[in-house]
């Protein structure tokens, strides 16, 4: 755990078709205020998978996502994104990040907000072609993307003219717009009301089923996790660790009504049970 | 020191931007049509007009009973009417000093704000100096500047630039740092470089703060120009010179006519900046509130 490999050395063995977090440790603060946000975290996400991460508040979901996004470094352990170091993956614009709030630029139109990623770091495409995990992907027209998300009429509007749900869809379109290899979403729907939330889930599912972009999706909602995901990762707190990895073996497309309610509930119960265990196990001394 | 710097940031509706407000502000509000809320309804303009009338009446009352204290409004009007070219001429001199000084102060403050935001070393080097400058009454330097630079425009421009520098500096620094963390995270995962973050995020985010500063600093620039003119009386033109010469000759009507010109000038500048703000900040919360 204490031996930290240099990034370059470990990446020789990292898989070009997976996102791998191996034995990651993250500690915030020091002395009495020390918090072990993540401990012995291992996670593998295969290319094209939709993976949800669920767990109690403070169990390190956001921390893990930020580590994959290259926004934070693990204190020990490794993170690789399709064979590349997260820094390299960012430099190649392989990562689409969707934060909890829409975080749009209020002075740009919807279209301007969706195209802004293509206007910064213009050397990324050249770099991307040199990386081992490179997969050619046709460019998507941002207008088509917005239309698919039901924002066709809102292209020229300013963010303040949109509802919260529409703003979050713009943020999702922005992440899709760079043909990212992976979308990292941190509770993107948590600020929305139930009805809006379900409507956006359906649109995200439809878009994802066409694009099949790899997604790591942090959520608080068990049913959301089951509806969307190929795999649900249950985490527990203090220290943050992975409690269970549950494959969701339900057919796609998973539109409303197409899913067998019974099968869904079975998975939901299973996840709730794991969450209970995670809760009950409480502070664990390792 | 941080405390002091924060407290000198100009607070106004446009300067308090809440990055956390976006998720709670949900569905688009149906904007009321402009016709029903015309600014020409009596209840909009009547209070101001009545207040002005009362002030004028009080003025007239005092002026009629104490001629040595205040000239009557009619006399002031007469002073303006008999030599309009004289006042226009001098007003133009003061206005151009104020504006040129303001532009110098603005550009300097903006450049320093960007440097200080981008570099920790420069911040630690420059900010103490800026704070010392702020606590020094710039007005007190004016006579020394006249000694050093003579009766030309130089001391007036320097005083105006100095007096406007600090408010702009503090507001632009706050504005450049007002980008919300989630937006910075998105730009960080795209590995946008510092220049891109500056031009695409920080500068546009600073605009509401720039306008808040301009509203304070436009009238200040006129103050700077007039004070500098006081220090070099007689030699050059300008409303400050007019006031100090007329005062020493006890020509009160001329003094107040010049002051009226200054007040009008300030009001016109404020109106200008507010109109410009409305156009430029269409996207900003402060403007939305006003429209609703
Ligand atoms: N920047 C930080 N500084 C100090 N502690 C942090 C920081 N970020 C997260 N933590 C702590 O790490 C733990 C995990 O946080 P987080 O990843 O945000 O959890 P989650 O997203 O699952 O709610 C929490 O105990 C939190 O207080
Ligand atoms: Mg979180």
Residue of B nearest to A108 (CA): B283
Mutate which: A105, A112, A180, vs B, most B CBs within 10 A? A105
Contacts of A124 in chain B (CB under 8 A): 190-191
A118-135: burial string, b at 16+ Cβ within 10 Å, e else: bebbeebeebbeebebbe
- pLDDT of B292 > 60? The answer is no
- Close Cβ partners of B283 (under 8 Å, ≥ 6 residues apart): A106, A107, A158, A159, A160
- pLDDT of A33 > 90? The answer is no
Question: Which element (helix H / strand E) includes B287?
Answer: helix B285-291
Q: Quick one: which atom of ligand 1 is closest to the CA of A238?
A: 25
Mean pLDDT of B174-196: 94
Residue of B nearest to A104 (CA): B183
Q: If pLDDT is split at 50, 70 and 90, which confidence band does B168 have?
A: very high
Mean pLDDT of A159-185: 92
Best CA proximity match to B196, nearest among A172, A95, A115, A122: A122
Give the burial class of B123: count Cβ atoms within 10 A of its Cβ; 0-12 exposed, 13-18 middle, 19 or more buried. Answer: middle
Going by CA atoms, what residue is nearest to atom 3 of ligand 1? A28
Going by CA atoms, what residue is nearest to atom 12 of ligand 1? A37
Structure tokens at B213: 């500063």
Instruction: Give CA–CA dist A32/A50, Å, rounded.
Output: 38
Structure tokens at B245: 């010469």
Instruction: Give CA–CA dist A260/A97, Å, rounded.
Output: 32
Report the DSSP beta bridge partners of residue A19. A45, A81
Probe ligand 1: pick from A58, A61, A187, max atoms within 8 Å of CB?
A58
User: Strands, DSSP E only, in A49-166?
Assistant: 50-54, 76-81, 95-98
Structure tokens at B264: 């009008």
Q: If pLDDT is split at 50, 70 and 90, which confidence band does B106 have?
A: very high
Residue of A nearest to B286 (CA): A160
Ion ligand 2 contact residues with beta carbon within 5 A: A 62
Give residue B285's pLDDT: 72
Instruction: Give CA–CA dist B97/B87, Å, rounded.
Output: 15
Residue of A nearest to B207 (CA): A107
- Listed ranges B125-134, B138-147, B188-197; the one with the highest mean pLDDT: B188-197
**Tokens 């303006």 appear where?**
B80
Question: Which residues have C-beta atoms less than 6 Å from ligand 1?
Answer: A 28-29, 35, 37, 55, 57-63, 240
CA B221 → CA B161, B210, B232, B267, B270, distances in Å? Answer: 8, 15, 17, 13, 12
Q: What is the DSSP string of B256-279?
A: HHHHHHHHHHHHHHHHHHHHHHHH
Contacts of B22 in chain A (CB under 8 A): 101-102, 104, 159, 164, 167
B151-187: burial string, b at 16+ Cβ within 10 Å, e else: bebebbbbbbbbbbbbbbbbbbbbbbebbbebbbbbb
The DSSP symbol for B201 reads I
Residue of A nearest to B288 (CA): A160
Q: How far is B273 from chain A (nearest CA, A)?
A: 19
Ligand closest to the CA atom of residue A64: 1
CB nearest A101 (choices: B23, B196, B204): B23
Q: In B, residues 185-204, which contact A (CB 8 Å cutoff)?
A: 185-193, 196, 200-201, 204
The predicted complex's ipTM stands at 0.89
Question: pLDDT > 90: what percent of chain B?
Answer: 46
Give residue B50's pLDDT: 92
Contact in structure between A160 and B283 (CB atoms under 8 Å): yes
Q: Please, what are the domains in chain A?
A: 47-71+84-280 (3.40.50.300)
Mean pLDDT of B156-185: 93
A112-116, B23-27, B262-266 — which is least confidently predicted? B23-27
C-beta neighbour count of B272 within 10 angstroms: 12
Higher pLDDT, B45 or A278: B45
Give residue A79's pLDDT: 93
Ligand closest to the CA atom of residue A237: 1
Q: If pLDDT is split at 50, 70 and 90, which confidence band does A199 have?
A: confident
Give residue A173's pLDDT: 92
Q: How far is the CA of A61 from the centre of ligand 2 (A)?
A: 6
Q: If pLDDT is split at 50, 70 and 90, which confidence band does A259 have?
A: low
Q: For B231-259, how does the pLDDT look when each residue is reduced to its tens digit (9 = 90+)?
A: 876 567 889 888 988 888 888 889 999 99
Q: How far is B191 from chain A (nearest CA, A)?
A: 5
Q: If pLDDT is split at 50, 70 and 90, which confidence band does B34 have?
A: very low
Instruction: Give CA–CA dist A125/A128, Å, rounded.
Output: 5
Contact A69 B189 (CB under 8 A): yes
- pLDDT of A131 > 70? The answer is yes
CA B192 → CA A118, A121, B149, B189, B282, distances in Å? Answer: 10, 5, 47, 8, 26
- pLDDT of B15 > 50? The answer is no
Give residue B2's pLDDT: 40
Give residue B23's pLDDT: 36
Q: How far is B115 from chain A (nearest CA, A)?
A: 22
- pLDDT of A246 > 60? The answer is yes
A72, A164, B29, B212 alpha-carbon torsion, rounded to 10°: 0
- pLDDT of A5 > 50? The answer is no
Q: For B140-152, how does the pLDDT look when each residue is reduced to its tens digit (9 = 90+)?
A: 888 888 888 888 8
For B43-51, which contacts have Cβ atoms below 8 Å and span 24 or more sequence positions? none
Contact in structure between A225 and A54 (CB atoms under 8 Å): yes
A75-89, A250-264, B61-75, B182-196 — which is least confidently predicted? A250-264
- pLDDT of B110 > 80? The answer is yes
Best CA proximity match to B269, nearest among B257, B281, B261, B258: B261
Higher pLDDT, A257 or A263: A263
C-beta neighbour count of A155 within 10 angstroms: 16
3-state secondary structure of A41: strand
Strands in A231-236's sheet, in edge-to-edge order, are A95-98, A182-186, A214-219, A50-54, A231-236, A241-247
**Tokens 């900010």 appear where?**
B127
Contacts of A184 in chain B (CB under 8 A): 189
Ligand closest to the CA atom of residue A54: 1
Q: How far is B123 from chain A (nearest CA, A)?
A: 25
Give residue A257's pLDDT: 61
Q: Where are the domains of chain B?
A: 86-291
Give residue B12's pLDDT: 42
Structure tokens at B108: 């300097």
Structure tokens at B246: 């007329």
CB nearest A99 (choices: B24, B186, B190): B186
pTM of the shown model: 0.82
- Which CATH code fits B86-291? 1.10.3720.10
Mean pLDDT of chain A: 86
Going by CA atoms, what residue is nearest to atom 24 of ligand 1? A58
CB nearest A70 (choices: B27, B189, B282): B189
Ligand closest to the CA atom of residue A100: 2
Q: Quick one: which atom of ligand 1 is closest to the CA of A29?
A: 4
A43-47, A81-85, A128-132, B274-278 — which is least confidently predicted? A128-132
Give residue B21's pLDDT: 38
Q: In A, residues 108-167, which contact B (CB 8 Å cutoff)?
A: 116-117, 119-121, 124, 158-165, 167
Mutate which: B29, B181, B186, vs A, most A CBs within 10 A? B186
Give residue B210's pLDDT: 94
């Amino acid at each position: 755990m204490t031996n930290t490999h240099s990034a370059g050395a470990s990446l020789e063995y990292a898989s070009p078709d997976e996102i791998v977090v191996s034995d990651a440790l993250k500690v915030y603060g020091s002395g009495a205020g020390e918090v072990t946000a993540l401990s012995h975290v291992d996670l593998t996400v295969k290319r094209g998978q939709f993976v949800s991460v669920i767990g109690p508040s403070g169990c390190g979901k956001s921390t893990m996502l930020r580590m994959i996004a290259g926004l934070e470094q693990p204190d020990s352990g490794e993170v690789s994104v399709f064979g590349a170091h997260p820094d390299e993956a960012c430099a190649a614009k392989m990562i689409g990040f969707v934060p909890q709030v829409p975080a749009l630029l209020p002075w740009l139109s919807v279209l301007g907000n969706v195209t802004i990623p293509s206007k910064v770091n213009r050397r990324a495409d050249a770099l991307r072609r040199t990386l081992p995990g490179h997969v050619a992907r046709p460019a998507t027209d941002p207008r088509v993307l917005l239309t698919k998300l039901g924002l066709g009429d809102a292209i020229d509007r300013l963010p303040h003219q949109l509802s919260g749900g529409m703003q979050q869809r713009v943020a999702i379109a922005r992440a899709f717009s760079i043909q990212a290899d992976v979308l990292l979403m941190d509770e993107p729907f948590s600020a929305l009301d139930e009805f809006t939330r379900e409507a956006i889930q359906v649109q995200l599912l439809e878009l994802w089923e066409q694009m099949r972009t790899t997604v790591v999706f942090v959520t608080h909602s068990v049913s959301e996790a089951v509806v969307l995901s190929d795999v649900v990762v249950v985490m527990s707190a203090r220290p943050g660790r992975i409690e269970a990895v549950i494959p969701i073996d339900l057919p796609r497309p998973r539109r409303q009504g197409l899913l067998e309610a019974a099968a869904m509930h079975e998975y939901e119960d299973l996840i709730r049970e794991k969450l209970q265990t995670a809760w009950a196990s409480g502070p664990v001394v390792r | 020191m941080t405390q002091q710097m924060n407290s000198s940031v100009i607070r106004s509706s446009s300067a308090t931007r809440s990055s956390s407000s976006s998720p709670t502000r949900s569905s688009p509000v149906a904007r009321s049509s402009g016709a029903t809320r015309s600014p020409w309804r009596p209840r909009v303009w009547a209070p101001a007009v009545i207040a002005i009338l009362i002030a004028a009446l009080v003025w007239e009352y005092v002026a009629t009973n104490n001629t040595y204290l205040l000239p009557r409004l009619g006399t002031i009007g007469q002073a303006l009417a008999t030599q309009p070219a004289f006042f226009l001429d001098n007003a133009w001199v003061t206005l151009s000093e104020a504006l040129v000084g303001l532009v110098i102060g603005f550009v300097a403050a903006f450049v320093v704000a960007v440097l200080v935001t981008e570099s920790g070393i420069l911040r630690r080097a420059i900010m103490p100096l800026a704070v010392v400058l702020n606590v020094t009454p710039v007005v007190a330097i004016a006579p020394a500047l006249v000694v050093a630079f003579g009766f030309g425009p130089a001391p007036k421009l320097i005083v105006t630039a100095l007096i406007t520098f600090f408010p702009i500096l503090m507001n632009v620094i706050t504005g450049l740092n007002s980008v919300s963390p989630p937006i910075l995270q998105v730009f960080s995962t795209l590995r946008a470089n510092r220049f891109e973050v500056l031009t695409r995020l920080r500068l546009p985010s600073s605009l509401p703060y720039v306008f808040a500063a301009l509203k304070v600093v436009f009238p200040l620039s006129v103050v700077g120009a007039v004070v500098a003119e006081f220090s070099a009386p007689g030699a050059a033109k300008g409303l400050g010179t007019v006031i100090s010469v007329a005062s020493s000759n006890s020509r009160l009507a001329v003094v107040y006519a010049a002051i009226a010109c200054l007040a009008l000038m300030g009001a016109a500048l404020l109106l200008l900046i507010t109109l410009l703000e409305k156009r430029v900040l269409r996207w900003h919360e402060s403007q939305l509130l006003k429209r609703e």
